[in-house]
Amino acid sequence: MGCCLRQLQLFSTCMAFSLGASVGTWKGAIGNWSMFIWCFCFVLTLLILIVELCGLEGHFPFSWDNFLTTCNCYSALLCLSASIIYPVIYIQFLSNSHDWDRPIISTAFSCIAFVAYAMDVTWTRAQPNMITGYMATVPGLLKGLETIVACVIFVFLSNTSLYLHQPALEWCVAVYSICFVLSSVAILVNLGKCDNRLPIPFSVLQVVLTLLSVLLYTTALLLWPLYQFNEELGRQLQRSSDVNCSSGVPTSVCIWDQQLAVVSLTAINLLIYVTDLVFSARLNFNRG
């Protein structure tokens, strides 16, 4: 079962990448993000398949099953993000194009890859005497979602003109970076089994760090739209005011759309952090 799913993952990510790369009209950071996801998942899955076929799982200094679950969970979340972002951009930019067939098929293969990775996680967890890896738990999935949404935000922030020379917006970028690091550290501590080496219970520390992230993201959610859509600061309040949005260029996301995307993703990630905080607090309360 695992080998068949691995082959399906390889085939679907390879097809998604190949079809996406064949569309000559697509360029820019958002497209590169989707291409990176499919290429990364393909290479990672290929390496895992080679290791399993050669029987080298026991030669690693860490739990192979835990590593496998982590890779599959992250690959599923990454393919899910590509399956959403890629078609949304194409629907907007290629509404009058004859090249819809390849983006649609590429998106379909990306969705198949997501399902294949999710099934792999489910199948692994269903094995008898299998110890569930951290990334297959609700807190692990939430942490993974937080880091992936932050990565998508960073893709939009690759256009530095969105925030440079404006301290409030630079603070928002700092918030995204700090919270990304905090979530990544939490994942690494759990995966490395280092939580018992801390002077305080890691579950308590995780609640504190998640609360801090919620507060930081709240400030970003308030400041980003306030400064990005303020006409007094020379910003466009409406999309029609941005000449780039009506220029008809199908290969780039205009400034106004990038600003809206960042504030939308900020709200989504804040919701994920709030869910993480509530779940973690309840776990600590039940343990207490």
Q: Closest by alpha carbon to 182, among 201, 200, 207, 160? A: 207
Based on the number of CB atoms within 10 Å of its own CB, is 54 exposed (0-12), middle (13-18) or buried (19 or more)?
Answer: exposed
pLDDT for res 92: 61
Interval 127-173: pLDDT, tens = 766 666 777 788 888 999 999 999 999 988 988 888 887 889 999 99
| Residue ending a domain, choose from 116, 136, 156 | 136
Does position 9 have pLDDT exceeding 80, yes or no? Answer: yes
The answer to whether residues 12 and 109 touch, using CB atoms and an 8 Å cutoff, is: yes
Tell me: do 258 and 196 sit in the same domain. Answer: yes
Apex 171 CA angle, 212 and 180, nearest 5: 50
Tell me: do 161 and 265 sit in the same domain. Answer: yes
| Residue ending a domain, choose from 91, 111, 136 | 136
Interval 59-117: pLDDT, tens = 777 777 778 888 899 999 999 999 988 887 766 665 555 667 788 888 999 999 999 99
User: What are the tokens at 79?
Assistant: 């393919």
pLDDT for res 265: 94
User: pTM of the predicted model, to two decimals?
Assistant: 0.85
Tell me: do 111 and 216 sit in the same domain. Answer: no
Q: How many structural domains comprise the chain?
A: 2
pLDDT for res 25: 46
